Amino acid sequence: MIGRYLALRRAGVLGLNGRNARYIAVHNPRRFYPLVDDKIRCKELLRQHGIPVPALLDAIRTQFEAGRLGKRLERLEQFAIKPACGSQGDGIIVIGSRRNGLWLSPSGSSYYSLDDLEFHVSGILNGLYSLGGQPDAALLEGLVLTDPRLRTLAPEGVPDIRIIVYRGVPVMAMVRLPTRRSGGKANLHSGGIGAGIAMATGRTLRAVMDDRVIDSHPDSGLPIRDFEVPEWNALLELAAACQSAVKLGYLGVDIVLDATHGPLVLELNARPGLSIQIANQTGLEHRLKAVDGLSIDLERLSPRDRAALAMELAEGGWRPARARLAKTVPLPVAPRPALASPPPEEQPLPQRHAS
């Protein structure tokens, strides 16, 4: 037991207590949490900063409005109903078409009457899916049509890319893939797949499902590894720009690739989970320490430069001294104490062996 704990420490695996105490508590002022916890407010803020998001079609805040949902839906054909302050994909209904007075999911496997949708929205307003069970609002969001280039990875549903951004620098990423078992949702806890992404190249690594390493999609049988994520540089730059908008130092950015509009920021998370380390088969803390070890003022770098810096750090094995941008950008040295020693090279997570 102790040996495994030490192996995880050497691999730089970050636990919940460490994440909360050393990163979230230090770099995420609580006054900024509402900027990301409320999806309606977050959309408005990101749009003000020129960051593309799925269209906000309507917002429902009272039971009176919920009881008259039909009038709001008359003009809508494809949309998603979401709780404004929900988490982990709970409470989301996706509508792909309308037929014979019913609203159908994109796959046609689920259908809803107006009474069903009104009842669901009423539950959202009562806090059924919100953080802490607090009263909530429901938003109607434009439907994301997945970029066809991703269909070899995800035959159905909407895959998304989760990027962890630390002090404005993207440090780890994974693509989350829906499965039939997950009901078309890309959330790992619902039966989705997480595939790590090499930060330097944008190519997928091995994937995990139910904490098991897999190499192919269970629905299609197609390989997951070594897929080149489209527009990788743009995705990193978009994630870095989100940190500038919300001023949170430790942030999860969820991005989708829309067939028409390109990369869109789906939502932000002030407390992103740690399963991304399993998907990447490596720990997160070495990368966070590498960013702390940089002797430049990151706040004065543009999102594009911080995205480029992330790729250079990845190419150099997350050793700050090997990042060319950190040496060449003429910025003042940030007044932060130097690390006692450089962070060790990344190590893969220790594997559990059958006894």
Query: Is 50 inside any structural domain?
Result: no
Classify each residue of 129-149 as buried b or exposed e, where b means 16 or more C-beta atoms within 10 Å of its C-beta: bbeeeeebbbbbbbbbbbbee
In a domain, 346, yes or no: no
Same structural domain, 158 and 132: no
Residue 94 resides in a domain:
yes
Give the Å distances, CA to CA, from 197 to 25, 59, 207, 355.
27, 35, 9, 31
Shared domain check, 182 and 67:
no
Domain residues for the domain of 64 are: 55-142
Same domain flag for 94 and 206? no
- Poorest-pLDDT segment among 84-93, 198-207, 242-251: 84-93
> Do 169 and 243 fall into the same domain?
yes
* Token representation of residue 261: 């509009």
326: confidence class by pLDDT, cuts 50, 70, 90? low
Please count the structural domains in the chain.
2
Share of the chain above pLDDT 90, in %: 69
Distance CA 154, CA 119 (A): 31
What's the pLDDT at 70?
A: 93
**Could you tell me the pTM of the whole model?**
0.88
SS3 content of the chain, % helix, strand, coil (to 5): 35, 25, 45
Asked if residue 47 is part of any domain, the answer here is no
pLDDT of residue 327: 54
3 pLDDT above the threshold of 80 = no
| Residue 12: band (very low, low, confident or very high) from pLDDT cuts 50, 70, 90 | confident
- Where is the domain boundary, 95, 115, 142? 142
Q: Which residue has the tokens 């001023």?
A: 247
Q: Going by C-beta distance under 8 Å and a sequence separation of 6 or more, which residues neighbour residue 223? A: 215, 216
Instruction: Determine the 3-state secondary structure of 292 from DSSP.
Output: helix
Handedness of CA 185, 189, 190, 193 (dihedral sign): positive
- Reported as a single tens digit per residue, the pLDDT across 207-222 is 999 888 898 998 888 9
User: Residue 48 domain-assigned?
Assistant: no
Compute the half-sphere exposure of residue 334: CA atoms within 13 Å on the CB side of its CA: 17
Question: Distance between CA 194 and CA 207 in Å, rounded?
Answer: 5
If one compares 180 and 302, the residue with the highest pLDDT of the two is: 302
Residues 218, 205: Cα–Cα separation, whole Å: 16
Residue 136 lies in a domain: yes
Residue 42 inside a domain? The answer is: no
Asked if the structure places residue 341 within a domain, the reply is: no
Q: In terms of C-beta density within 10 A (0-12 exposed, 13-18 middle, 19 or more buried), how is residue 70 classed?
A: exposed
Q: Which amino acid is at 235?
A: L
- CATH code for the domain of 93: 3.30.1490
Instruction: Let me know whether 106 and 236 are in one domain.
Output: no
Residues 233, 89 share a domain: no
32 and 89 assigned to the same domain: no
Within this chain, do residues 229 and 176 fall inside the same structural domain, yes or no? yes
228 lies in the same domain as 293: yes
Q: Is 160 strand, coil or helix?
A: strand
Secondary element (H or E) of residue 79: strand 79-83
Cα-only R_g, the chain: 21
DSSP secondary structure code for residue 24 in this structure: I
Give Cα separations from 130 to 18, 43, 190, 279, 338 (angstroms): 25, 17, 18, 27, 41
Is residue 205 domain-shared with residue 272, that is, in the same domain? Answer: yes
Position with higher pLDDT, 188 vs 193: 193
Give burial (CB, 10 Å; 0-12/13-18/19+) of 91: buried
CATH code where residue 174 lies: 3.30.470.20
Choose one of 81, 111, 142: the last residue of a domain: 142
What is the three-class DSSP state of 214? strand
Residue 220 identity (one-letter amino acid) = S
pLDDT band at 355 (very low <50, low <70, confident <90, very high): very low
190-202 per-position pLDDT tens digit = 788 999 999 999 9
Based on the domain organization, do 9 and 107 belong to the same domain?
Answer: no
Q: Which of 93, 118, 142 is the last residue of a domain?
A: 142
Query: Over pLDDT 70: what percentage of the chain?
Result: 88
pLDDT higher at 347 or 280: 280
Same domain for 217 and 269, yes or no, is yes
What b/e string do you get for 317-326 counting C-beta neighbours within 10 Å, with b at 16 or more?
A: ebbbeebebb
Residue 338 pLDDT class (50, 70, 90 cuts): very low
Residue 327 or 266, more confident:
266
